[in-house]
Structure 1
Amino acid sequence: MNRICLCLPTDRACSATLAALHREAAYATEHHDVHVELLVLDSCDEATRAEHARVLAALPSVPRVRVHHLGEEPQRAFLRRVIERAGLPDADRFLDLMLPAGVSYGACTNRAFLLAAALGCRSVHRRDSDSAYQLHDGEPVFPVHHELPWLGRPAAEASAAVTRTDLDPALAGRPVSLAGASFIGELSVDIAEIRRLDETVYHDVVGLWAPAEWPDERRRDLVEESFTGAGTTPFTGDDSTLALVDPMRVDMCNVAFDRDVYERFPLSPATDTIGSDYFLLHLVHDATLPGILHNRHIENFHTPERRTDTGFHAYQLRFVKFLLSMLHLHRVYDRLAAEGPALLDEHQRLRTERVAGLLRESARLDRADNHWRLDRCDTAYRKLGGRYTEFAERLAPRRERLLAEAERDIEDYARLADAWPALVAAARHTAPGRGSG
């Protein structure tokens, strides 16, 4: 029987989401011959974590669904055992990359990947705590409907189950490596207020995530498309495409990967940086691995905490760090696109060492473009006034530190990628631990 990991990392109260996730797990077992390891990685405070434990304990027992609710201490204990078994030098450094003190969208998912390996799963299906399932005719619209059962199977076998195929026939023998959709509702990045205050400033700031050399027209097109997901039109019926899936069409709140993707390459462990968890979408596409793009989009919403002064400054910093990360990532994306199927070995699996090398090469780029990005951010935020000006003033003395962090983040990513095969191999022989921690 196929074993899958349905995963929710969270650092906020999300009792309703946990109950809904459990219903998706039950749906998966009702419609497919699978066993679901429902994994909740809980980084909340003790009181919130205890409430989550109460909610999960009260859920009805479902055959072939097993719930794992792990706080950070059980996660840390598991990681220590894995790192020790892997025999890696500088164990504390790797522990920091896997479970950093700051918020890391990539690191929390990397922990899910290793725990999925420990649990013997064939795929990981990720959801987010600030999102909800759409309803259609009163029933939840679960993405797992399209994610199973094709992951890991030859694309040719999935062609009869999708609405259409947009895939070179030469790729039909390659495994379906990804299934995903996007979201409807609010922007995925909480910057809609900037657009309401000054649309010109919004275009200036959002356009900074494009390469510096892009022409204005291409940059404008990117801005219009950025962070909008699938818009606001609700689900009315299933539609799916077998293709090389465009990374811009998938959100990490609504994605599933085959094990031969996440067991071969991790996500970036960068802290306080939005978008640090999207690299695998690019890697799967550029390596010419097939995927299924569907329309069971998840509803996105923003939690009130981001509107507080503390939440606002923290989130804007994550956005600026995302812009700075693009100096290095765009170079890697260009190289991935150029390499194409050469990124795969003779078994159609990702060449971990080759991709890690591309990351390492990008760390040596000149910082001039990022000086330019910070200059543009400073000007833009000051134009908005109020707390945006206050944020710009806080940002100014941190310039050199932020530039160094962007470079270090890509170096750390390469370091983790080098160690990833050993970590995955060790995780397969390591008990994940139990309890809410």
Structure 2
Amino acid sequence: MRRICLTLPTNRPCAPAIADVAREAAYGARAFDVEVHVLVLDSAPPAARHEHRQVIENLAPARDVVVHHLDEAAQRTLLHDMAAAASPAHAERLLGLLLPDDVSYGACTDRAFLLAEMLGCASVHRRDSDSRYQEHAGHTLFPLHHELAFLGVSASEAAEHVTVRRLDPAVADRPIALVGGSFIGAMSVDLDAIRRSDPGTYERVLMLTVPDDYPALWRTTLVADTFRGAKTTAFSADHTTLTRVPPTRVDMCNIALSRAVYTRVPLPPATHTIGSDYFLLNLAHTAVLPGVHHNRHIVNHHTPHRRTDAGFLAYQVRLAKYVLAVPRLHEIHTALRAPEAGLVDHEGRLRTSAVTQAVRRSAADIRPADAHRLDTLDSVYRDLGGRWAKAADLLAARRDQLLAEARTDMADFAFLLDAWPALIKAARTREPVTR
């Protein structure tokens, strides 16, 4: 029986989301005859963890569904064993990258990848704690429906069952590596107030998230789409597209990846950086890995903490770090598109060493343009005033640190890439957890 991992990383109270994910797992096991391992990676405060544990203990038993609820102490034990087996001399550094003290969108998913491999899963299906599923005609729209139907089958076989086909026939024999949808509802970053009140200023900020060498038309289109998901388009009927999935059309709350992807390349472990967990989506696109894009979009909402001053300021730091990361990430994917980069082998599999080389080169130099990008954010935020001016003050106070981390984050990623094959091997030989 195929075994899959449906994971929910969280650092906040999210009992309803856990209950929803458990319902999705039961649906998947029932409809597709798979064994679903629900993996809740819980970094929430103690009171919230206790509430989560109670929700899980009260779940109705479901055939072929196993729930694992791991707090950071349990995760640390497992990861330390893997890191020590993979690289005894560097175990503590690896552990710090996989389980940092600060928020890391990439690291929490890397932990899910390793633990899924430990559990013997064929794929990882990721959800977020600040989202819920759509309902239509009395049914819950579980993305797992399309993920299990397509992931791992050949593109030529998938072509017989999708609504639209937009894939290069040259890769028709390759398996589906990625299945994803997006979200509707609130923007995925805290910029909607600017978009509604000052479109020109909003465009100035969003242009910082678009590579500088993109043509003007592409830049305008990306600004219109960035962080907006599927906007407000509610579900009416299933629509699936066999394609090289555009990273801007899917969201990490609604994504599934084959182990053929994540056992070869992890996500950047950078802390306080939105968008770092989209690296594999871009890499799959660069490598022309077949995928299926669907419209079972998840409903996004902002948690109460995001609306507090502290939550707002924390998010602006994460956005600033992403703005600094964009040129390096773009440079990496541009380099990997070149035939001589050898991103995939003759069987269409990702080559870890090719990615490592490109990432390491991106960390090697200091870039004066980084300071200009922070200057632009500073100018925009001070013109807006109010809480935005406070964000400008915070970014100014951390300026040197942010500029330094733009390089060290990539160096850390290269280090993790070097160790990743050994970490995957260590995960496979680790005794699986049972709860």
Mark yes or no: TM-score above 0.5. Answer: yes
Match of 2:258 in 1: 258
Q: Secondary structure at the match of 2:150?
A: coil
Match of 1:51 in 2: 51
Q: Which amino acid aligns with 1:116?
A: A
Match of 1:161 in 2: 161
Q: Secondary structure at the match of 2:7?
A: strand
Q: Does 164-173 or 256-265 show the bigger shift?
A: 164-173
Distance 1:232 1:80 in 2: 43
Q: Secondary structure at the match of 2:142?
A: coil
Match of 2:200 in 1: 200
Match of 1:98 in 2: 98
Q: Secondary structure at the match of 1:389?
A: helix
Q: Does 192-201 or 370-379 show the bigger shift?
A: 192-201
CA contact (8 A) 1:286 1:341 kept: no
Distance 2:415 2:178 in 1: 25
Q: In structure 2, do the counterparts of structure 1 residues 217 and 167 end up closer, same or farther at CA, with 3 Å as the change threshold?
A: closer
CA contact (8 A) 1:359 1:411 kept: yes
Q: Which amino acid aligns with 1:287?
A: A
Match of 1:398 in 2: 398
Q: Secondary structure at the match of 1:149?
A: helix
Q: Which amino acid aligns with 1:79?
A: L
CA contact (8 A) 1:197 1:384 kept: no
Superimposed CA distance per residue, residues 309-338 of structure 1 (whole angstroms, 9 cap, x where no aligned partner)? 111111111011110111211101211233
Displacement of 1:282 after TM fit? 1.0
Once the two structures are superposed, the pairs formed by residues 75-154 of structure 1 within 5 Å of their partners are 75-154=75-154
Q: Secondary structure at the match of 1:89?
A: helix
Match of 2:343 in 1: 343
Q: Which amino acid aligns with 2:64?
A: R
Once the two structures are superposed, the pairs formed by residues 18-417 of structure 1 within 5 Å of their partners are 18-214=18-214, 217-339=217-339, 342-417=342-417
Q: Secondary structure at the match of 1:278?
A: helix
Q: Which amino acid aligns with 1:337?
A: R
CA contact (8 A) 1:287 1:340 kept: no
Q: Secondary structure at the match of 1:209?
A: coil
Q: Does 366-375 or 31-40 show the bigger shift?
A: 366-375
Q: Secondary structure at the match of 1:256?
A: strand
Q: In structure 2, do the counterparts of structure 1 residues 213 and 348 end up closer, same or farther at CA, with 3 Å as the change threshold?
A: closer
CA contact (8 A) 1:287 1:342 kept: no
CA contact (8 A) 2:336 2:354 kept: no
Distance 1:6 1:85 in 2: 26
CA contact (8 A) 2:2 2:34 kept: yes
Distance 2:428 2:387 in 1: 48
Number of residue equivalences:
435
Q: In structure 2, do the counterparts of structure 1 residues 278 and 4 end up closer, same or farther at CA, with 3 Å as the change threshold?
A: same
Q: In structure 2, do the counterparts of structure 1 residues 340 and 62 end up closer, same or farther at CA, with 3 Å as the change threshold?
A: farther
Superimposed CA distance per residue, residues 245-291 of structure 1 (whole angstroms, 9 cap, x where no aligned partner)? 11111111000000010111000100001011001011111111100
Structure 2: state its 5+ residue gaps: none
Distance 1:397 1:213 in 2: 30
Q: Which amino acid aligns with 2:179?
A: A
Match of 2:11 in 1: 11
Distance 1:125 1:221 in 2: 29
Displacement of 1:340 after TM fit? 8.9
CA contact (8 A) 2:19 2:56 kept: yes
CA contact (8 A) 2:335 2:341 kept: no
Distance 2:251 2:243 in 1: 16
Displacement of 1:98 after TM fit? 0.1
Distance 1:248 1:210 in 2: 11
CA contact (8 A) 2:337 2:343 kept: no
Distance 1:155 1:186 in 2: 33
Q: Which amino acid aligns with 1:111?
A: R
Distance 2:211 2:310 in 1: 30
Distance 1:150 1:213 in 2: 35
Q: Secondary structure at the match of 2:202?
A: helix
Q: In structure 2, do the counterparts of structure 1 residues 421 and 188 end up closer, same or farther at CA, with 3 Å as the change threshold?
A: same
Q: Secondary structure at the match of 1:115?
A: helix
Q: In structure 2, do the counterparts of structure 1 residues 157 and 215 end up closer, same or farther at CA, with 3 Å as the change threshold?
A: closer
Q: Does 161-170 or 113-122 show the bigger shift?
A: 161-170
Superimposed CA distance per residue, residues 56-114 of structure 1 (whole angstroms, 9 cap, x where no aligned partner)? 11010001000000000000000011111213422111101000001000000000000
Q: Secondary structure at the match of 1:90?
A: helix
Distance 1:237 1:334 in 2: 36
Q: Which amino acid aligns with 2:371?
A: H
Distance 1:340 1:349 in 2: 15
Superimposed CA distance per residue, residues 105-140 of structure 1 (whole angstroms, 9 cap, x where no aligned partner)? 000000000000000000000000001000001211
Match of 1:429 in 2: 429
Q: Which amino acid aligns with 2:121?
A: C
Q: Secondary structure at the match of 2:389?
A: helix
Q: Secondary structure at the match of 1:7?
A: strand
Superimposed CA distance per residue, residues 158-202 of structure 1 (whole angstroms, 9 cap, x where no aligned partner)? 111211211122211111100001011111112112223422211
Distance 1:26 1:236 in 2: 24
Displacement of 1:418 after TM fit? 1.1
CA contact (8 A) 1:198 1:384 kept: no
Between the two proteins, what is the percent identity of the paired residues?
52
CA contact (8 A) 2:42 2:70 kept: yes
CA contact (8 A) 1:68 1:434 kept: yes
